[in-house]
Amino acid sequence: MEFTKWQGCGNDFVVVDFLDREPVDFAALAVRMCDRHFGVGADGLMVVCPSETADVRMREFNPDGTEPEMCGNGIRCFARYLYDYGRVSKEQFTIETLAGMMVPRIVLKEGAVAAVEVDMGVPVLDAERIPATGFGTGRVVAQPLTVAGKEYAVTCVSMGNPHAVVFVDDADQFPLAALGAQFEYHPAFPRKINTEFVEVRDRTHARMRVWERGAGITLACGTGTCATLTAGVLNDVLDRAAEIEVDGGVIHVAWHEDGHIFMTGPAEPVFTGVWREDV
> DSSP states of 188-209 as a string?
T-TT--EEEEEEEEETTEEEEE
State the amino acid at position 255 in one-letter form. Answer: W
List 4's β-bridge partners, or say none. Answer: 15, 272
Long-range CB contacts (< 8 A, 24+ apart) of 30-38? 30/61, 30/62, 30/63, 30/65, 31/63, 31/64, 31/65, 32/277, 33/3, 33/275, 34/61, 34/62, 34/63, 35/63
- 8 A C-beta contact, residue 224 and residue 193: no
The closest of 208, 264, 220, 266 to 241, measured between CA atoms, is 264
From the list 9, 34, 156, 221, the catalytic residue is 221
Distance CA 225, CA 231 (A): 10
The closest of 202, 278, 207, 201 to 248, measured between CA atoms, is 207
From the list 71, 77, 156, 226, the catalytic residue is 71
In the residue annotation, 221 being an active-site residue is answered as: yes
Residue 276: CB atoms within 10 Å: 7
Length of the chain: 279
Residue 178's Cβ-count burial label (10 Å; 0-12, 13-18, 19+) is: exposed
In the residue annotation, 226 being an active-site residue is answered as: no
Catalytic residue annotation? 71, 221
